[in-house]
Amino acid sequence: MEIKEAKGKLGILVVGVGGAVSSTFIAGTLAVRKGQGKPIGSITQLATIRLGKRNENRFPKIKDVVPLADLKDLEFGGWDIFPEDIYQAAMHAEVLKKEDLDKVKDELEAIRPFTGVFDQEYVKRLHGTHVKKGKTRWDLVEEVREDIRKFKEEKHCERIVVMWAASTEVYIPMSEEHKGLSVFEKALKENNTAVISPSMCYAYAALAEGCPFIMGAPNLCVDIPAMWEFAAQKKVPICGKDYKTGQTMLKTVLAPMLKTRMLGLSGWFSTNILGNRDGEVLDDPGSFKTKEVSKLSVIDTILQPELYPDLYGDVYHKVRINYYPPRKDNKEGWDNIDLFGWLGYPMQLKVDFLCRDSILAAPLCLDLVLFADLAARCGFSGIQTWLSFYFKSPMHDFETIPEHDLFIQYSKLKNTLRTIIGEKTIDHME
Ligand SMILES: NC(=O)c1ccc[n+]([C@@H]2O[C@H](COP(=O)([O-])OP(=O)(O)OC[C@H]3O[C@@H](n4cnc5c(N)ncnc54)[C@H](O)[C@@H]3O)[C@@H](O)[C@H]2O)c1
């Protein structure tokens, strides 16, 4: 496979650059490249990959054999609906300690967000002050495109990746205007705000500029035929949606365990408390619905109730998110799993994960921007199913069934990397 060299700078433009996830990702990456921290949780930076037969003993680091962009070549920027620079934003988010942020203070202060595309109807709990003035959705797209071009020129970037790490928008179903590029563009120009969300404006602008687009929230956004068509036309990779970081990651590890051992499941109750701005936004029923659909989607395709009605034909699955300010970014997620075994005897499994939301999400952001850039240099376009590993609701077209099992997703990711570098894929038969 021919891979374009990762030469020159790679610009990373993040939508919601002043948020907890973005600022933690950017500050952490800057610290890592200064040798001031370790990139724990990042596959691109830490994981090895087996090449050849097991007894050949070849386990190089992924970053030593896959031609990824070097961290020293990354330039960060983005959009937010609040004007704070990223040092202030990170202090505000209260994820990383001041002493850690101070190690990269100058670089963080130099990152100032472009004004955002904002519509209160899509995120009810925020009141953006740093927003674009364009009259129609089409005008707003043009403004975002201009920002991308300006950033690329001023920072001397060869390539740009755009990633959404902004708030979860209210739930909107797929409508006729989303089903083809021409009707979608018509809706943009006619300013049909009921069906064209702000996130779609960013995604359309990124694709129009030839930039890969990553969707980190569960918003419909690029998960529509119009965007698939545009991505194919522009030959640009897209992926999403909704980073798989905490409770859902656990779910996609535990559900395959039950399935592999043919243990039954009668109920799965998941609840969370979280007190960051994301928690506040998700306290709104419209935004929660978008997240709920994403969180609920994972179990069915893993358990295949249609094949195992006795085991999984009657599962009660419930997901709750409760906004609880004292915990800030330190989410606590409880799972109560009602399972059953031999002759139907019931058992319970309880999980209490005291996690840190943005600490889990930051390494995913780093991997995703590097892999999306790699995909573009390999000439891949459209939905990148090999990056499903990173998402709660892996994007797929109407014919494909999504894969949710974390370890199958990981095999697919590694086999794709092996193929990219001209190595044999591994099926563990030898
Ligand atoms: N942390 C995790 O583990 C995790 C996992 C999956 C998904 N997510 C999603 O990632 C996103 C970011 O999470 P967070 O904790 O950083 O939230 P956050 O509220 O701290 O950050 C979101 C940022 O987006 C900005 N924003 C909102 N609408 C915008 C718009 N239209 N244009 C530009 N900026 C806009 C906000 O001002 C804010 O700075 C959320 O959608 C969240 O649901 C997070």
Kindly state if the Cβ of 126 falls inside 6 Å of ligand 1.
yes
Q: How far is the CA of 43 from the centre of ligand 1 (A)?
A: 22
**What integer pLDDT is reported at residue 196 of this predicted model?**
97
Does residue 86 contact residue 109 with C-beta atoms inside 8 Å?
yes
**What integer pLDDT is reported at residue 261 of this predicted model?**
97
Q: How far is the CA of 157 from the centre of ligand 1 (A)?
A: 25
**Rg of the chain over CA atoms, in angstroms?**
21
Task: Work out whether strand 332-340 and strand 346-354 pair parallel, antiparallel, or are unpaired.
Answer: antiparallel
Residue where the block lists tokens 């390539």: 159
Considering only CA atoms, which residue is closest to atom 40 of ligand 1? 167
Contacts of residue 311, Cβ cutoff 8 Å, sequence gap at least 6: 262, 263, 264, 265, 303, 305
**What integer pLDDT is reported at residue 111 of this predicted model?**
98
- Ligand 1: which of 167, 252, 298 to mutate, most ligand atoms within 8 Å of CB? 167
**What integer pLDDT is reported at residue 288 of this predicted model?**
85
Does residue 9 contact residue 156 with C-beta atoms inside 8 Å?
yes
**What integer pLDDT is reported at residue 297 of this predicted model?**
79
Kindly state if the Cβ of 164 falls inside 6 Å of ligand 1.
no
pLDDT along the chain (430 residues), means of 10: 94 98 98 97 98 93 98 98 97 96 98 97 92 97 98 98 96 95 97 97 98 97 97 98 93 95 97 87 84 81 94 94 90 95 98 95 98 98 97 92 92 97 88
Which structural domains are found in the chain, ordered by start? 9-243+359-420 (3.40.50.720), 247-354 (3.30.360.10)
Q: How far is the CA of 167 from the centre of ligand 1 (A)?
A: 4
| CA 204 vs CA 89, 141, 173, 189, 257: distances in Å | 27, 7, 18, 13, 39
Amino acid letter, residue 27: A
Does residue 31 contact residue 25 with C-beta atoms inside 8 Å?
no
- Residue 97's H or E segment, with its range, is none
**What integer pLDDT is reported at residue 278 of this predicted model?**
82
Q: How far apart are the first and last CA of the chain?
A: 25
What does the block give as tokens for 19?
């948020």
The b/e string for 283-295 (b: 16+ C-beta within 10 A; e otherwise) is bbebbbbbbbbbb
